[in-house]
Structure 1
Amino acid sequence: MAADYGKVRSDVKESQERSLEDLQSANASDARSLIAELDEADALDDGLTPGGEIISDELIVQVIPQAADEFTCYSCFLVRHRSQLARESNGPSYCSECDG
């Protein structure tokens, strides 16, 4: 007996039809409210706040160079004082918290 494997089984087809009917009869929000929600989400991605204000301020940070008595930990990448130096081996330096 030959079987048509491309044909959808009847029990699967019935469950798909029931699922479609359930979705259509559910109290889902209408298309306009869904589009409005998507537009609000897009507005947030474009640099707008939920209130609709445009954010154009830049963060200005003063960068202070590393002092002579400081080092950068090779593990946590934090700038630490030399008193926290635990190990220094051929270049990489480790603080006492990361070396422990």
Structure 2
Amino acid sequence: MATDYDAPRVRDGEEEKSDNVLELDAARSRPTTDLLEEDTEAVDGHTLPGADLSDLSLEVRVVPKQADEFSCMSCFLLVHRSQESKPGTNICRDCA
């Protein structure tokens, strides 16, 4: 008996999926209002694109370069000494 290996397989307990265009269109046209209901309240801490943030100040704690760190001469990132490609080159492994 010849077997078509490209045909979709139906396992025991599964129903065959319908490829009828009319049934698929009817399923697609069902109302989706349940999916579209969203919480329209503003969320604290969420900024909208284009929002005016000029009254806010950014506070960042700056830590000076440590003895076991170096500044990569290629990407200018501050990385740990263990990430140096070759000793004394001041190039990180990512850039090498």
TM-score tier (shorter): 0.3 to 0.5
TM-score, normalised to structure 1's length? 0.40
TM-score, normalised to structure 2's length? 0.42
The structure richer in strand per residue is: 1
